[in-house]
Amino acid sequence: MEPWAILVIALLILGITTPLWSTVGLLRRVGELQNQTTPSQLATRLQNTVRPNQVAVLIAAHNEELVIAETIASAKRLVPAGNIHVISDGSTDATSGIAEAEGVNCLELNPNRGKAGALAAGIEYYDLASNYEVMLLLDADTRLSPDYLETGLPLFAAPDVVAVAGRAKSLPDTRHRNPLARVLLAYRERLYAAVQLLMKYGQAAESANVVNIVPGFASMYRTRILPEIDVDAPGLLIEDFNMTFEVHAKKLGRIEFHPSAAVAYTQDPDNLRDYIRQVRRWQLGFWQTVRRHGWNRGKFWVVLYVHVLELVSASFVLILAVPIVILSELTEVSLLRPVDLLIGVILPDYLLTIVAAVVLRRPSMLLLGVVFPLIRVLDAVICLITLTLAWTRITSGVWVSPTRRLQPA
């Protein structure tokens, strides 16, 4: 195969947006250091932008008795207990009792409405838009870092900032794991590094403002825009993509993100069954949101559909590369050689692993990363299947919580 063809394959795997937004993020970082506008410096200069007692914490929970107490405890370290609102959505376990014992507000819903429905009910019932300046959405298995608000609230200093996307990190895993669990958890860490450090940081630059996801696991919104957002849009499996798209579609303001601000820890799947279920839910929710909003004018939508094109193209390449190599070997027709697969597919993917291992200071990832392309093939299959389902199947949004595990405090 010609060198230019290998380069095309490599670009399809890495995409053009990753290096583009990485460059923008690097320039943004240089500008912050020169102008002394990092979150910690802003926190020192802007003590009264939004105060912690003006922040409402909203947690939608469905059968979360294993994790809800520690999540509430992490929130109580940052805001008064009266600012925390748990929406127990059709729970049949001890979720509600634990929340009430922790001294926080608890609203029980029956029947199960789904996460988006639970959030919408909580926003309305507690009138968060009138009683607070900022709403912090929190998943029931999330633990906030001690400086989450200290670093995150200064990002609201600019009046046009209406949402702050939290930075996700995996909860430290101290238990002995089988090899597959270690691979899945390390792969998710690499994903967080690639999406947040190489892309989202640049996309959140003031001149860009094209962030496509304010993750619902631990992010903040100005409450004044909540009446403008259709939180519980019908037919969507998840809410966070839709809430983000609503901000852009209705031109409500700017979304901010910084790698050193608003950090929170989440419990990632450690087995293949839960991993597939979670990725399927995320991907289907993304495609459903793309379908719902269609095309709008503006740079966000251009960037979004370039991302869609890259996502679909990379999925096809990842799925078809190995079969084409096998076909080439069997028929002696030089469509794609093993060396082409190595240079065009495996090496670009491993480059992401090297970057993540260096940034996260995880040398063990260099060994685990050898099998990451197999997980990417699985992701690609799920991506294309859910793309079809998004246009052929309607979902109710009613949820079943992923399998939780007890996490050391």
Is residue 352, in this structure, part of any structural domain at all?
A: yes
Q: Are residues 290 and 328 in the same domain?
A: no
Question: What own/partner pairs with CB < 8 Å and gap ≥ 24 does 181-186 have?
Answer: 181/270, 181/271, 182/368, 183/368, 183/371, 183/372, 183/375, 184/268, 184/269, 184/270, 184/271, 184/272, 184/275, 184/375, 185/268, 185/270, 186/362, 186/364, 186/365, 186/368, 186/369
Query: If we measure between CA atoms, which residue out of 259, 286, 138 comes closest to residue 203?
Result: 259
* pLDDT of amino acid 389: 93
| 344 and 289 belong to one structural domain | no
Same structural domain, 78 and 140? yes
**CA 227 vs CA 55, 158, 217, 371, 385: distances in Å:** 17, 21, 21, 46, 34
Number of domains in the chain: 2
* Domain end among 294, 318, 339: 294
Instruction: Among 260, 294, 328, give the residue marking a domain's end.
Output: 294
Quote the CA–CA distance of 101 and 20 in Å, as a whole number: 49
pLDDT in the model for residue 37 = 67
For the stretch 85-106, pLDDT in tens is 999 999 999 999 999 999 999 9
pLDDT at residue 231, as a whole number = 94
Query: Looking at the structure, do residues 8 and 31 belong to the same domain, yes or no?
Result: no
Give a yes or no: residue 251 inside a domain.
yes
Question: Could you tell me the CATH number of the domain that includes residue 170?
Answer: 3.90.550.10
Smallest CA-to-CA distance from 306 within 30, 16, 103, 85 is with 16
What is the distance between the alpha carbons of residues 190 and 351, in angstroms, rounded to a whole number? 11
Q: Are residues 288 and 319 in the same domain?
A: no
164 in the same domain as 53:
yes
143 lies in the same domain as 207: yes
Q: Same structural domain for residues 73 and 129?
A: yes
Looking at the fold, whether 106 and 224 belong to one and the same domain comes out as yes
Q: What is the Cα–Cα distance from 235 to 289, expressed in whole angstroms?
A: 9
d(CA 408, CA 396): 34
Residue 205 lies in a domain: yes
Distance separating alpha carbons of residues 288 and 305, to the nearest angstrom: 14
Give me the pLDDT at residue 240, please.
93
pLDDT at residue 127, as a whole number: 97
Q: What is the pLDDT of residue 190?
A: 94
User: Which residue stretches of the chain have pLDDT < 70?
Assistant: 1-14, 36-48, 173-177, 396-409
Give the strand pairing for 218-222 and 254-256: unpaired
Confidence at residue 347, expressed as pLDDT on a 0 to 100 scale: 85
What is the residue range of 380's domain? 3-16+301-392
Residue 166 in contact with residue 263, Cβ under 8 Å? Answer: yes
Looking at the fold, whether 126 and 236 belong to one and the same domain comes out as yes
Has residue 402 been placed in a domain?
Answer: no
193 and 261 in one domain? yes
Bridge partners, residue 273, by sequence: none
Q: Flag whether 116 is in a domain.
A: yes
Asked whether residue 109 falls in the same domain as residue 242, the answer is yes
